[in-house]
């Protein structure tokens, strides 16, 4: 039976906190969990959940993952704990380290997550920041691997806002050697440091392309991926962004230009007739709900590799 190997880094704040081999290993462990081939128990281990933003998938998949592993979760809602009243991060981190074995945090600034991790003696997981969503990327690449068997010759085209989800797809894609194309409107390109780091990792620099032309980016692509146009915390930019993202909807026109066996992914939640048409969302090419299910298996694997 496959045995989860402990990750070299204490935390998973970024896709880059794991090596290529470690990401491969997490995906393999996740597959084993999905197939019920693993019986790892994290009995009595407690995962703390600090969510400054809404969540359905991430929160529930972490809760169910811990429950399946024999551990439990504590929901540390910032509104009902002292976190929301401004208790310093470094104090919260030191206290919760005495109660919890691992903490997953969803917040705005990556620097707040890093500050927490600096003061925590226990592993910290990024459950989404404005910069990255590395747990999402694990489930995404697991879904792609399920479909295509491996990542050789797979072209992933992301159409939308170059923020957290796109940034993690780039970094994890670089580690796995996947060709990633990002098509976004001008001014919505992925984080420049993320792009720089990805180019340092890619052995073949042609494998990452950032463009403002979605029609060109989807040519022959095997995976079409999109995310909401207005992320959490950007509710006041909704109107402006809808205008800026005109032409960046995954629809039958873009799908026709992709490979004929291309699959469609979306991290969810989805807004029909904005980033994706209802027809595209509901088409037989969608693997969106397998992708959502894989959040559970990937996080079981991640927790096993952080806590064993
Ligand atoms: N994809 C994702 O992270 O979903 P939630 O916001 O529901 O957690
Ligand atoms: N980019 C989106 C992802 C949601 C899972 C957001 O940050 O709201």
pLDDT tens for residues 264-286?
A: 999 999 999 999 999 999 999 99
**161 CA: nearest ligand 2 atom:** 1
* Res. 308: pLDDT tops 90: no
Residue range of the domain that includes 83:
15-132+295-307
In this model, does residue 161 exceed pLDDT 90?
A: yes
In this structure, is residue 8 part of a structural domain? no
Residue 118 belongs to domain with CATH number:
3.40.50.1370
Told to judge if 106 belongs to the known catalytic residues of this protein, a careful annotator would answer yes
- Give yes or no: residues 283 and 180 share one domain: yes
Pocket test for ligand 2, best of 231, 237, 248 (most atoms within 8 A of CB): 231
When divided into structural domains, the chain yields a total of 2
Radius of gyration of the chain (CA): 19
Active site residue 85: no
Which residues approach ligand 2 with their CB closer than 6 A? 128, 163-165, 227-228, 231-232, 267
Confidence of residue 1 (pLDDT cuts 50, 70, 90): confident
CA distances from 17 to 132, 277, 281, 305 (A): 12, 35, 32, 12
Query: pLDDT digits over 63-84, tens only?
Result: 999 999 999 999 998 889 999 9
Is pLDDT of 247 > 90? yes
Residues 197 and 102 grouped into a single domain: no
Containing 266, the helix (H) or strand (E) segment is strand 263-266
Long-range own/partner contacts, residues 74-83 (CB < 8 A, 24 or more apart): 74/46, 74/47, 74/48, 74/49, 74/99, 74/100, 75/49, 75/51, 76/48, 76/49, 76/50, 77/51, 78/50, 78/51, 78/52, 83/50
- 110 among known catalytic residues: no
Regarding whether 282 and 195 lie in a shared domain, the answer is yes
Residue 164 lies in a domain: yes
Of residues 101, 130, 140, 227, which has the active-site annotation? 227
């Amino acid at each position: 039976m496959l045995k989860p190997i402990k990750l070299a880094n204490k935390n998973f704040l970024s896709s880059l906190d794991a090596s290529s081999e470690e990401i491969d290993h997490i995906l393999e462990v996740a597959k084993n969990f999905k197939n019920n081939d693993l019986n790892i128990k994290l009995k009595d281990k407690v995962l703390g959940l600090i969510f400054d933003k809404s969540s359905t998938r991430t929160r529930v998949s972490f809760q169910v993952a811990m429950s399946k592993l024999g551990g439990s979760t504590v929901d540390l809602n910032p509104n009902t704990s002292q976190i929301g009243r401004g208790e310093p991060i470094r104090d919260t981190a030191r206290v919760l380290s005495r109660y919890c074995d691992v903490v997953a945090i969803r917040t705005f600034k990556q620097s707040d997550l890093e500050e927490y991790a600096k003061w925590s003696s226990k592993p910290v997981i990024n459950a989404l920041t404005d910069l990255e969503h590395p747990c999402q990327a694990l489930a995404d690449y697991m879904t792609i691997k399920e479909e295509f068997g491996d990542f050789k010759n797979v072209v992933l085209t992301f159409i939308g806002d170059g923020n957290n989800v796109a940034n993690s797809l780039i970094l994890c894609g670089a580690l796995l050697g996947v060709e990633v194309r990002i098509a976004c409107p001008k001014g919505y390109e992925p984080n420049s440091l993320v792009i720089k780091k990805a180019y340092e990792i890619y052995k073949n620099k042609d494998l990452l392309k950032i463009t403002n032309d979605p029609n060109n980016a989807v040519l022959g692509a095997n995976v079409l991926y999109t995310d909401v146009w207005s992320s959490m915390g950007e509710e006041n930019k909704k109107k402006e962004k809808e205008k800026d993202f005109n032409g960046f909807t995954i629809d039958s026109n873009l799908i026709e230009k992709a490979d004929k066996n291309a699959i469609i992914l979306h991290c969810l939640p989805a807004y029909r007739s904005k980033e994706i048409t209802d027809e595209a969302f509901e088409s037989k090419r969608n693997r969106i709900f397998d992708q959502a299910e894989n959040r559970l298996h990937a996080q079981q694997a991640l927790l096993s590799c952080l806590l064993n």
